[in-house]
Amino acid sequence: MTPRHILITGGASGIGFGIAQHLGSLGHAILIADISLERAQQAVSILAEQNISAKAIQLDVGDAQQIEGLPESILPDKVDILINNAGIQHVSRLEDFPSNKWQALINVMLIGPALLSKAFLPNMRSNNFGRIINVGSLHSVVASPYKSAYVAAKHGLLGFAKTLALETGDCDVTVNTLCPAYVKTPLVEQQIAAQAIENNISEDDVVNKIMLEPMPKKSFIDIQELAACAEFLISDAARNMTAQALVIDGGWTAR
């Protein structure tokens, strides 16, 4: 595979960092973007110990002005592959959901990916190559109570990807969305505690009765599974796969 420059938002931990490790090990140059520059730099240091080429930048994906200036600020680097991974969560019934939190989730997980795609698409077009991978969720295709903003944002990613895929049909650019069921990340660990409070049950019951009960496989999704899917999506073998939602859910949606 031709070495590419890959920007991963929320790349300092969790899914983003796992994808960075895997794709970096294949020889790609990684740009770790995180709201915390310190965490991004720590991630880059870990990758450097693994002989992976990586750089760190501070990026608030909810800041439209910062996104607009990003292609110029990272010069001479350019982005061939954009992985929209940054995510936040808030669990609450709608009546109690703070309005600013609702807006923040939409900004980070829907508007941010759209604006980042807009920022880097001109370079992808000029090079006649680009891959945009959104890290969605099982909640891109189903819903759960107390997650109205998250579900709305993740559902919106699918519509956005389909639209952009139609707009980029004239060049070698693809837009796809990974839709995993629960992955054991710090974000999910926080959800377990919040769900226990909202549902008035134990944290063990949240894991077994809410998160894993609908899954025939009864297992959290491994980050390496997502990294391998990303590897496929950026390969030539997937050059005609676009506008797709890759659902990795242990059979959840088969019911």
* 154, 188: one domain: no
Could you list the residue range(s) of the whole structural domain that residue 92 is in? 5-180+222-245
| Assigned domain for 251 exists | no
What's phi and psi for 144, nearest 5 deg?
A: -135, 150
Residues in the chain: 255
Q: How many domains, the chain?
A: 2
Q: If you search the block for the tokens 């794709």, which residue do you land on?
A: 23
| Cα 138 from chain centroid (whole Å) | 12
Is 146 catalytic? The answer is no
| Cα 28 from chain centroid (whole Å) | 18
Q: Is-contact 156 143, C-beta < 8 A?
A: no
| Assigned domain for 173 exists | yes
* pLDDT of the residue at 209: 86
Two structure tokens written together for 191: 């959800």
* 52, 71: one domain: yes
* 205, 227: one domain: no
* 108, 194: one domain: no
| Assigned domain for 150 exists | yes
* 207, 162: one domain: no
* 44, 149: one domain: yes
| Assigned domain for 106 exists | yes
Average pLDDT over residues 165-186: 95
* pLDDT of the residue at 189: 81
AA letter at 245: A
| Assigned domain for 252 exists | no
To the nearest whole number, what is the mean pLDDT of the chain? 96
| Assigned domain for 32 exists | yes
* 199, 91: one domain: no
- pLDDT of 144 over the 80 cut: yes
* 105, 207: one domain: no
* 138, 48: one domain: yes
Average pLDDT over residues 173-196: 89
DSSP-assigned letter for residue 183: B
| Assigned domain for 254 exists | no
- pLDDT of 187 over the 80 cut: no
Could you tell me what percent of the chain has a pLDDT over 70? 100
pLDDT in tens, 209-225: 888 999 999 999 999 99
* 126, 46: one domain: yes
Q: Rg of the chain's alpha carbons, rounded to an integer?
A: 18
* 201, 231: one domain: no
* 147, 194: one domain: no
Under the banding of pLDDT at 50, 70 and 90, the label for residue 188 is confident
- The active-site residue out of 150, 160, 182, 252 is 150
Two structure tokens written together for 168: 């980029």
pLDDT in tens, 59-105: 999 999 999 999 999 999 999 999 999 999 999 999 999 999 999 99
